[in-house]
Structure 1
Amino acid sequence: MRWFTADGYWMSRLILQRGLAAIYLVAFLAAALQFRALIGSRGMLPVPAFVARVPFRRAPSVFHAHYSDRFFAGCAWLGCAVALALLAGAGDEVPLWAAMLLWALPWALYLSIVNVGQTWYGFGWESLLLEVGFLAILLGNDRVGPPIVVLFLLRWVLFRVEFGAGLIKIRGDACWRRLTCLDYHHETQPMPGPLSWFFHRLPAPLHRVEVAANHGTQLVVPVLLFTPQPVASVAAVLMIITQLWLVLSGNFAWLNWLTIVVASAALDLSPLVGDRDRPAAPLWYEVVVLTVAAVLVALSYRPARNLFSRRQLMNFSFDPLHLVNTYGAFGSVSRVRMEVVLEGSAEPAPRADGAWREYEFRGKPGDPRHWPRQFAPYHLRLDWMMWFAALSPAYARPWFGALVERLLRGDRDTLRLLRRSPFPADAPPRAVRARLYRYRFTTPSELRTTGACWDRTYVREYWPPTPAEPPVPEREP
């Protein structure tokens, strides 16, 4: 069936597949480098304990069949290898059926990781990567044209990402309706970037323009994705520009980059690169794609209904395979920034005003003189969860005590997640505490005077001083 494919979108598919492979590579790399302290067998939220209480049908994962840290690491590094091969174009060098299996492998591996990742993997971009990754299995390779129905489903994903985010803002915090949210957002976002200070200091009228433009991009432009070309391409370009603006202003893991990759699938680049005539797709491929697409359209009923619900859910998966999800961000915006600062003491009996030394995280604010850095699309999971911990201790209750315990032990896997520890692993602190501070960006004059981009004020104790367990004395023979 010649109507089944859109040969003019071969370059759009190429951009999407290469971009998706690059994001898969980053995601698996983050999993391989961070999992031991977070969800390893001796981690803060161990996978073995999770799979023991959660059945396979609720969280499908290969780790229900077997788990060891070595096996998890092998899966993560295998995912890196497959993603790297796909990035190099391996999917176009094999038969169509093999390409589909090649794209299915990183999807299945990352699904297995997300479904046992617990709170560390509870972010919307995890589901977005899995949903887009599943559609990539159906996109085919260079031997067939891109299936029109899959291109439509990719636009449907992009629509839900943008339109859902726009609705959650309008329904949520009043500052979005008053166009004032960006008076606070750049300062209070989870992980500011190197330019966030400058974005925060933009004039207030420009912030109003930014918010108004954001509403237009998220509430009006997504509808244009389903109009004829070149209008759909213009809509996609506007979304890409908006996402690049967000990339410059903060660190949101691969959310913005993946949204850009998905938007590229809506671009009609044939006037620039021309069409490519390919043989008709094999019948078995058409049957598989149309059947799976019909299932995905049926599953889309719940997220579509959610968009128009007064109780709209944000970043929610309606099925354990994360096939069709709902998205959104910043339904409410914090007016002040709170940060949890961890400190350790080497004193045998530490006093409140004693010599406490501060742990430094890689991405989250700590030392007021330490300028934020760019980490996205790489995801610093512990740093992000520390932001949630500052919002409410309830977010941190399942894992914060385990974090303190691991610092008291000088656990090397945990210390590798930090930028700097004031104590070597072989000489851990005698006690650890956590204090809550209010942070704000300095004014231009304060920055010139002090060289610090942050100013912080002590608020209260967050976690009381916790001593290390005294060593058990050896019994005399």
Structure 2
Amino acid sequence: MDWIGTPDAWLSRLVLQRGLALVYLLAFLSAVREFRVLAGEHGLTPAPAFLRRVPSRRAPSLFRLHYSDRLFDAVAWLGAVLSAALAAGLGDLVPLWATLPLWAVPWLLYLSIVNIGQVWYAFGWESLLLEAGFLAIFLGNDDIAPPTFTLYLFVWLVFRVELGAGLIKWRGDPCWRKLTCLNYHHETQPMPGPLSWFFHRLPRPLHRVEAAANHVAQLIVPFGLFLPRPLATWAAAVVIVTQLWLVASGNFAWLNWLTMLLAFAAVDGALLARLVPPLPSPPDGRPNAPAWFTALVLAATALVAVLSHRPVRNLLSSRQQMNRIYNPLHLVNSYGAFGSVTRERHEIVLEGTSAPEPNGGAEWREYEFHGKPGDVRRLPRQFAPFHLRLDWLMWFAALMPRSPRSWVPPLVDRLLTGDRRVLRLLRANPFPDAPPAWIRARVYRYRFTTRHERHTTGAWWHRDPVADYLPPRSLGPTPPA
């Protein structure tokens, strides 16, 4: 690598920019679909109330100037249109100076959404997208060779993602060190995918191999990303293959896809073009960046270096924290995943009845979600890289069945009124003609069926009732205990 520009990294920049633009597009479309219902003016946790309660220094956002659902739609759709244009190559059609605002605008728009999204946007991959999106501002375009320092900033980011995930596992749940966590994980992960049942039913020795391979991929391989090429390229390939394995076995929104994109920062485009003939040859030599752009890249590098001291301390700490955000701009964060693995799967099931009283004679019918398990005969679907925030929060709510989340009663109240916006986030409405008189929330223990059960019943899940999460609730007086 040249200290200023790396011509052979043309493929890395292409994949990073087009891929990030597509992830941005998904993120903005997800916001269009869910935000107004979850956190809009009349959402389950309204953003206007949050903006009044939280000072701007803790949550900077364009919506500090004004929030309305109509303005939010305009912001989200603007972000989606601009992301689609960048994915189509707009950044390479404009002068170098124009690429900076083209990448800065979607970062600013999405930051404004995340910072008022509250619990619905408290996922590690939201901060990961913002950090990667900020770095993308300094990637330049086809007018110059890919800037070396920016590429190393991407490598530093994927290094922290992978090593952070590996260390939190090794230091956390003992089952990771015993290589037994994957006896449970495929069944208890937040949102299983269509192949999760098959992964769960792999022989126990293969689960141990999975866990051991994960440790190698996340604790050792990340250091190879900083080695000279082609060694760094092979380290990136291991990261990508590992993430594809996670894509096949579950639904983690855009986390795995974004991690694969970041790993491309270490890939030698010329080598890959030789190994994969259908890929185009590297373009003709590009000049290094002008002085003003190089100065901006160096300034961004210095900023990341200064902000890295806390993530590094977190990585070295025996009390490592997962997904820690150190500043309201979501720059240079700490990442990690599954420091602990649940042994049993609990699911909250919302049930409604049209009976005048919720007594033993009432017929209860279930609401169905798109991603979270419900109907035991329904094969889990693949939704990643799209993000279903309500489904994910239902999984988190089930982890503490004795402490109902504050947004659950408002959700139930919207269903009692037949709120069409809320119902559009669900897969099936069991009361299409009129809303129910009562709704309750119950906790069930779910487990994957055995091969014999699957063959005889056709069900993917078996479930048993555990407890009540929320007693029967209506728009009228609460029934006596």
TM-score by length of 1: 0.96
Match for residue 441 of structure 2?
434
Match for residue 409 of structure 1?
417
Match for residue 14 of structure 2?
14
Q: CA deviation at 1:348?
A: 1.3
Partner letter of residue 144 of structure 2?
Answer: V
Q: CA deviation at 1:279?
A: 2.2
Identical-pair percentage: 63
Q: CA deviation at 1:352?
A: 3.9
Tell me, what secondary structure is at the counterpart of 2:225?
helix
Partner letter of residue 462 of structure 1?
Answer: Y
Q: State whether residues 185 and 334 of structure 1, in contact with CA within 8 Å, keep that contact through their aligned partners in structure 2.
A: yes
Greater CA drift, 283-292 or 385-394: 385-394
Supply the distance in 1 between the matched residues of 2:456 and 2:74 (Cα, whole angstroms). 50
Q: State whether residues 308 and 332 of structure 2, in contact with CA within 8 Å, keep that contact through their aligned partners in structure 1.
A: yes
Q: CA deviation at 1:404?
A: 1.0
Match for residue 474 of structure 1?
none
Q: State whether residues 404 and 469 of structure 2, in contact with CA within 8 Å, keep that contact through their aligned partners in structure 1.
A: no
CA distance 1:3–1:276, change in 2 (3 Å):
farther
Tell me, what secondary structure is at the counterpart of 1:4?
coil
Partner letter of residue 436 of structure 2?
Answer: P
CA distance 1:395–1:313, change in 2 (3 Å):
farther
Match for residue 216 of structure 1?
216
Supply the distance in 2 between the matched residues of 1:464 and 1:112 (Cα, whole angstroms). 37
Match for residue 400 of structure 1?
408
Tell me, what secondary structure is at the counterpart of 2:327?
coil
Q: Unaligned regions of 5+ residues in structure 1, if any?
A: 471-477
Q: 2:464 aligns with which of 457, 460, 464?
A: 457
Q: CA deviation at 1:467?
A: 1.4
Q: Deviation per CA, 1:323-345, whole angstroms, max 9, x where unpaired?
A: 11000010000001000000011
Match for residue 311 of structure 1?
319
Match for residue 75 of structure 2?
75
Q: Deviation per CA, 1:128-169, whole angstroms, max 9, x where unpaired?
A: 000000000000011111111111110100010000000000
Q: CA deviation at 1:395?
A: 7.1
Partner letter of residue 204 of structure 2?
Answer: A
Tell me, what secondary structure is at the counterpart of 1:276?
coil
Q: State whether residues 410 and 428 of structure 1, in contact with CA within 8 Å, keep that contact through their aligned partners in structure 2.
A: yes
Supply the distance in 1 between the matched residues of 2:402 and 2:6 (Cα, whole angstroms). 50
Match for residue 475 of structure 1?
none
2:255 corresponds to 1:247: no
Supply the distance in 1 between the matched residues of 2:327 and 2:469 (Cα, whole angstroms). 36
2:343 corresponds to 1:343: no
Q: State whether residues 3 and 149 of structure 2, in contact with CA within 8 Å, keep that contact through their aligned partners in structure 1.
A: no
Q: CA deviation at 1:270?
A: 1.3
Supply the distance in 1 between the matched residues of 2:245 and 2:403 (Cα, whole angstroms). 29
Partner letter of residue 358 of structure 2?
Answer: P
Q: State whether residues 2 and 280 of structure 1, in contact with CA within 8 Å, keep that contact through their aligned partners in structure 2.
A: no
Runs of 4+, deviation exceeding 6 Å: none
Q: CA deviation at 1:380?
A: 0.4
Partner letter of residue 351 of structure 1?
Answer: N
Q: CA deviation at 1:393?
A: 4.2
Match for residue 183 of structure 1?
183
Q: CA deviation at 1:427?
A: 1.5
Q: State whether residues 40 and 46 of structure 2, in contact with CA within 8 Å, keep that contact through their aligned partners in structure 1.
A: yes
TM-score by length of 2: 0.96
Supply the distance in 1 between the matched residues of 2:386 and 2:34 (Cα, whole angstroms). 11
Match for residue 3 of structure 1?
3
Supply the distance in 1 between the matched residues of 2:17 and 2:453 (Cα, whole angstroms). 46
Q: Deviation per CA, 1:393-422, whole angstroms, max 9, x where unpaired?
A: 477522111111111111111111100011
Q: Unaligned regions of 5+ residues in structure 2, if any?
A: 274-280
Q: CA deviation at 1:59?
A: 0.5
Q: State whether residues 239 and 263 of structure 2, in contact with CA within 8 Å, keep that contact through their aligned partners in structure 1.
A: yes
Q: State whether residues 348 and 442 of structure 2, in contact with CA within 8 Å, keep that contact through their aligned partners in structure 1.
A: yes
1:322-333 matches, within 5 Å, as 322-333=330-341
Q: Deviation per CA, 1:78-108, whole angstroms, max 9, x where unpaired?
A: 1110010001000000011111110111100
Q: State whether residues 339 and 439 of structure 1, in contact with CA within 8 Å, keep that contact through their aligned partners in structure 2.
A: yes
Supply the distance in 2 between the matched residues of 1:2 and 1:172 (Cα, whole angstroms). 40
Supply the distance in 2 between the matched residues of 1:189 and 1:274 (Cα, whole angstroms). 41
Q: CA deviation at 1:275?
A: 5.8
Supply the distance in 1 between the matched residues of 2:429 and 2:226 (Cα, whole angstroms). 52
Supply the distance in 1 between the matched residues of 2:250 and 2:288 (Cα, whole angstroms). 45
Q: State whether residues 388 and 396 of structure 1, in contact with CA within 8 Å, keep that contact through their aligned partners in structure 2.
A: no
Tell me, what secondary structure is at the counterpart of 2:415?
helix
Match for residue 278 of structure 2?
none
Supply the distance in 1 between the matched residues of 2:51 and 2:91 (Cα, whole angstroms). 33
CA distance 1:26–1:341, change in 2 (3 Å):
same
CA distance 1:34–1:218, change in 2 (3 Å):
same
CA distance 1:399–1:140, change in 2 (3 Å):
same
Q: Deviation per CA, 1:192-223, whole angstroms, max 9, x where unpaired?
A: 00000000000000000000000000000001
Match for residue 117 of structure 1?
117
CA distance 1:286–1:396, change in 2 (3 Å):
farther
Match for residue 473 of structure 1?
none
2:382 corresponds to 1:374: yes
Supply the distance in 2 between the matched residues of 1:394 and 1:131 (Cα, whole angstroms). 36
Supply the distance in 2 between the matched residues of 1:319 and 1:262 (Cα, whole angstroms). 22
Supply the distance in 2 between the matched residues of 1:336 and 1:449 (Cα, whole angstroms). 23
Tell me, what secondary structure is at the counterpart of 1:236?
helix
Partner letter of residue 397 of structure 1?
Answer: R
Q: State whether residues 10 and 276 of structure 1, in contact with CA within 8 Å, keep that contact through their aligned partners in structure 2.
A: no
CA distance 1:28–1:396, change in 2 (3 Å):
farther
Match for residue 360 of structure 1?
368
Supply the distance in 2 between the matched residues of 1:225 and 1:35 (Cα, whole angstroms). 37
CA distance 1:280–1:382, change in 2 (3 Å):
same
CA distance 1:115–1:333, change in 2 (3 Å):
same
Q: Deviation per CA, 1:434-469, whole angstroms, max 9, x where unpaired?
A: 011000000111111111000000111111001123
Match for residue 261 of structure 1?
261
1:8-157 matches, within 5 Å, as 8-157=8-157
Supply the distance in 2 between the matched residues of 1:43 and 1:382 (Cα, whole angstroms). 12
Q: CA deviation at 1:231?
A: 0.7
Match for residue 443 of structure 1?
450
Q: CA deviation at 1:3?
A: 3.3
Supply the distance in 2 between the matched residues of 1:233 and 1:84 (Cα, whole angstroms). 28
Q: State whether residues 5 and 147 of structure 1, in contact with CA within 8 Å, keep that contact through their aligned partners in structure 2.
A: yes
For this pair of structures, how many residues does the alignment match? 469
